[in-house]
């Protein structure tokens, strides 16, 4: 490759006259040569032909810094200088030595001639700073024109030859690299072929070992036959599934094994027809079920064995025991049938819904599945696939608490229960909400509107009873069937008996202690009869108040039957505290459901004119140890003497 001649020369000198001299020598040499030739002809008498010298492109720099900058710009522009004449002294800037160092730092290929007329640097000093470089020439001032021309011609040619040599070296290196790359590629290809061959061999060995291990460890029975239909591979699992004896599996006669298998299947004709069909249709893939005579069900799969090139090598058969799976599928179908029957016939409404959130707030939900009871209980039909806002407009505003429950359950998965009133539908529902997967919820609910109405009616009845019980003068009792417990007693008890109701609730047995001893046995016998076959009773007896006053009371018990235990709870006694004060009726009573009827008793005060103290008894029995003893003695004395003016017992006067 030829390199274009580079005649670009840079003059670096602080003296402009030096620049002019160089230009006269390097640029105007043709004119100068013609002048010399003319003078030579005049002196020697023989004319000569003028020699055409090379023309140089000369540029100037007057300081070292300027020269280094021009070298850099020329190199960047792709038009480097071939030669630079550098003066050794160029105050106040860099001297020639430093300038040379700076230029070579930018362009190491440029040839430099240092021009000097002084002994600023010795030869050794100069080369110590610059280095022993073949691109440096020292030119002493004053210099001769011929020297400048020779240096310019020689050094520019040297630069060109150096560039050409470099290009040739680069070409040679490229050729060597290309050839080396080709050899390396050939070597790599050969190595790759060797490696691929070894890999293919190893893979074949591995696949063979893997196939054998897989066949022998498979849960499926495997049979591989060749193009002629003769078995080439068979595992022990196949023999176990089809219960093939060992002497048949070891025999190479395939017909004997086929006959054995045909005898074990439930439909042998169908089995042999399918085998014959697949053998005659090598491209066919088949999958079906085969039932053996012992009830075993096998999943049979058959496919052609084809190589990557499409060549047919035979057929593979696999058999898997699916008896348990079929049994489970049947059980699952029965379970699904039962579930569907339960789902459609359950009394509670069922709704499976997908929630629609907006920034963690439940804005709506879609009905994905509902049962028949849903429509029966709500009156809503064809709701599947619709939003609740379409089915029940305004429910988001009227039932915010219900929406919040749906939101919590759908996000957390924790089930919740509540009772709420759907104002839009005008019904009460009892609802249980749970989540099967996040973003969805299931609502199981029942219409409890009738129960709520019954509860409201019961509360109204309760209030009426409370008002009645609080204001009647008779005592209203409710007692257990065996009369051992007091479930309720009205506030009038305290007025007639003069004792706190709380004491009676705390200890119902004290009731008999309040009866006058003379009447106690008769009353207890009458009440004991109530626990038997006696259905009614009307009895009068006397009680003793804490203040000593004796009162006649009359009781008329009757049975109370709780016929509707679901909607009419039977009352029981309220809770008792130390400051218990009966001010309410059934509203304060707990709900019980006895297996036997309760006793309802109405006790009224009779003979109010007899409720007085007997002064005669008071004078004759001043030392009675108790009210009851006093009363007993008084009655006995009056019976004997008949002196007491009153017909009722008397008591000791309080001190």
**Segments of 54-200 assigned E as strands:** 57-61, 83-87, 111-116, 136-140
Could you tell me which residue, 337 or 25, shows the higher pLDDT?
Answer: 25
Establish whether the linkage from the previous residue to 628 is cis, with ω within 30° of 0.
Answer: no
654: preceding bond cis by omega (within 30 degrees)? no
Q: Which pLDDT score, from 0 to 100, does residue 582 have?
A: 32
Q: What is the mean pLDDT of the chain?
A: 80
Task: Judge whether 8-167 and 477-611 match in fold.
Answer: no
Q: Any idea where the domains of the chain sit in the sequence?
A: 8-167, 218-326, 346-447, 477-611, 612-655
**Tokens, residue 278:** 């697949």
| HEC readout, 548-560 | CCEEEEEEEEEEE
pLDDT of 228: 83
Tokens matching residue 92: 């106040």
Name the β-bridge partners of 541: 553
Task: Mention the CATH class of domain 346-447.
Answer: alpha beta
Tens digits of residue pLDDT in 499-545: 898 888 888 888 888 899 999 989 888 888 877 777 777 889 999 99
Query: For position 322, what pLDDT does the model report?
Result: 92
Cα radius of gyration rounded to whole Å, the chain: 64
Condensed to tens digits (0 to 9), the pLDDT of residues 551-563 reads: 999 988 877 665 5
Please identify which residue in the block is written with the tokens 């509707």: 564
Q: What ranges make up the beta strands (E) of 435-502? A: 440-447, 475-479, 486-489
Per-residue confidence (pLDDT) for residue 297, from 0 to 100: 92
**Nearest by Cα to 232 from 162, 312, 316:** 316
Specify whether the CB–CB gap between 91 and 167 falls below 8 A. Answer: no
What are the pLDDT digits (tens) for 258-272? 888 889 999 999 998
Q: Are 235 and 222 in contact (CB under 8 A)?
A: yes
Q: Is 249 left (phi over 0), alpha (psi -120 to 50) or beta?
A: alpha
Q: How far apart are the first and last CA of the chain?
A: 154
For 342-361, the pLDDT digits (tens) are: 777 788 899 999 999 988 88
Looking at residue 609, its pLDDT comes to 41
Architecture of domain 477-611: 2-Layer Sandwich (3.30)
Q: pTM higher than 0.85, yes or no?
A: no
Q: What would the pLDDT profile of 222-281 be if each residue is shown by its tens digit? A: 888 888 878 888 888 888 888 889 888 887 777 888 888 889 999 999 998 998 898 888
pLDDT higher than 90, residue 59: yes
pLDDT, position 590: 38
Yes or no: is domain 8-167 CATH 3.40.50.2300? yes
The bridge status of strand 231-234 relative to strand 312-321 is unpaired
Rounded Cα distance between 258 and 268, Å, is 11
Confidence of residue 81 (pLDDT cuts 50, 70, 90): very high
* Class of the CATH domain delimited by 218-326: alpha beta
Measured CA to CA in angstroms, residue 501 lies from 28, 465, 472, 477, 570 at distances of 148, 18, 16, 11, 20
pLDDT higher than threshold 50 for residue 169: yes
What's the confidence (pLDDT) of residue 588? 38
Q: Which residue has the higher pLDDT, 582 or 19?
A: 19
Residue percentage of the chain with pLDDT more than 90: 25
Position 460 pLDDT exceeds 80: yes
């Amino acid at each position: 490759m030829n390199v274009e001649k580079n005649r670009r020369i840079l003059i670096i000198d602080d003296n402009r006259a030096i620049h002019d001299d160089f230009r006269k020598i390097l640029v105007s040499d043709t004119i100068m040569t013609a002048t010399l030739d003319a003078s030579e002809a005049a002196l020697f008498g023989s004319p000569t032909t003028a020699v055409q010298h090379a023309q140089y492109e000369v540029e100037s720099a007057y300081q070292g810094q300027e020269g280094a900058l021009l070298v850099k710009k020329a190199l960047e522009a792709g038009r480097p200088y071939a030669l630079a004449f550098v003066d050794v002294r160029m105050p106040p800037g860099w001297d020639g030595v430093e300038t040379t160092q700076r230029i070579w730092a930018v362009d190491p290929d440029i040839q430099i001639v240092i021009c000097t007329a002084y002994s600023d640097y010795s030869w050794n000093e100069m080369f110590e700073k610059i280095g022993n470089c073949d691109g440096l020439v020292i030119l002493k001032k004053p210099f001769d024109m011929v020297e400048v021309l020779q240096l310019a011609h020689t050094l520019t040619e040297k630069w060109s030859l150096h560039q050409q040599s470099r290009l040739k070296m680069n070409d040679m290196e490229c050729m060597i690299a290309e050839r080396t790359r080709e050899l390396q590629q050939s070597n790599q290809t050969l190595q790759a072929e060797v490696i691929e061959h070894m890999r293919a061999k190893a893979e074949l060995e591995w696949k063979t070992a893997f196939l054998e291990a897989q066949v022998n460890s498979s849960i499926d029975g495997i049979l591989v036959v060749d193009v002629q239909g003769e078995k080439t591979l068979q595992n022990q699992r196949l023999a176990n599934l089809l219960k093939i004896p060992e002497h048949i599996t070891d025999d190479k006669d395939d017909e004997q094994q086929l006959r054995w298998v045909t005898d074990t299947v439930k439909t042998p004709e169908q089995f042999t027809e399918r085998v014959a069909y697949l053998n005659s249709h090598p491209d066919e893939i088949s999958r079906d079920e085969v039932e053996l005579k012992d009830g075993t069900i096998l999943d049979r799969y058959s496919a052609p064995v084809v190589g990557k090139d499409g060549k047919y090598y035979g057929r593979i058969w696999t058999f898997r025991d699916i008896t348990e799976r079929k049994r489970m599928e049947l059980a699952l179908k029965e379970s699904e049938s039962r579930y569907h029957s339960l789902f459609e016939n359950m009394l509670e409404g069922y709704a499976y819904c997908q929630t629609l959130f907006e920034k963690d707030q439940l804005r709506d939900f879609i009905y994905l599945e509902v049962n028949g009871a849903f429509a029966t209980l709500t009156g809503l039909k064809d709701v599947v696939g619709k939003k609740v806002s379409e089915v029940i407009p305004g429910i988001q505003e009227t039932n915010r608490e219900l929406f919040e429950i749906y939101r919590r359950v759908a996000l957390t998965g924790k089930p919740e229960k509540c009772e709420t009133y759907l104002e839009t539908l005008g019904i009460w529902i009892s609802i249980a909400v749970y989540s099967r997967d996040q973003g969805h919820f299931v609502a199981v609910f029942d219409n409890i509107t009738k129960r709520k109405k019954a509860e409201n009616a019961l509360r109204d009845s309760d209030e009426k009873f409370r008002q009645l019980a609080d204001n009647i003068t008779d005592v209203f009792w409710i007692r257990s069937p065996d009369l051992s417990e007091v479930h309720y007693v009205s506030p009038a008890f305290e007025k007639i008996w003069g004792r706190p109701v709380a004491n009676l609730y705390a200890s119902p047995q004290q009731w008999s202690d309040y009866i006058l001893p003379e009447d106690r046995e008769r009353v207890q016998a009458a009440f004991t009869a109530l626990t038997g076959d006696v259905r009614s009773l009307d009895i009068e007896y006397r009680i003793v108040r804490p203040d000593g006053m004796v009162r006649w009371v009359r009781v008329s018990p009757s049975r109370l039957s709780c016929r509707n235990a679901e909607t009419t709870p039977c009352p029981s006694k309220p809770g008792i505290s130390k400051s218990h004060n009966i001010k309410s009726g059934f509203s304060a009573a707990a709900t019980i459901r006895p297996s036997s009827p309760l006793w309802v008793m109405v006790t009224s005060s009779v003979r109010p004119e007899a409720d007085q103290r007997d002064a005669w008894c008071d004078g004759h029995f001043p030392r009675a140890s108790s009210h009851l003893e006093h009363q007993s003695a008084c009655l006995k004395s009056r019976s004997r003497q008949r002196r007491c003016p009153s017909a009722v017992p008397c008591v000791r006067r309080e001190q």
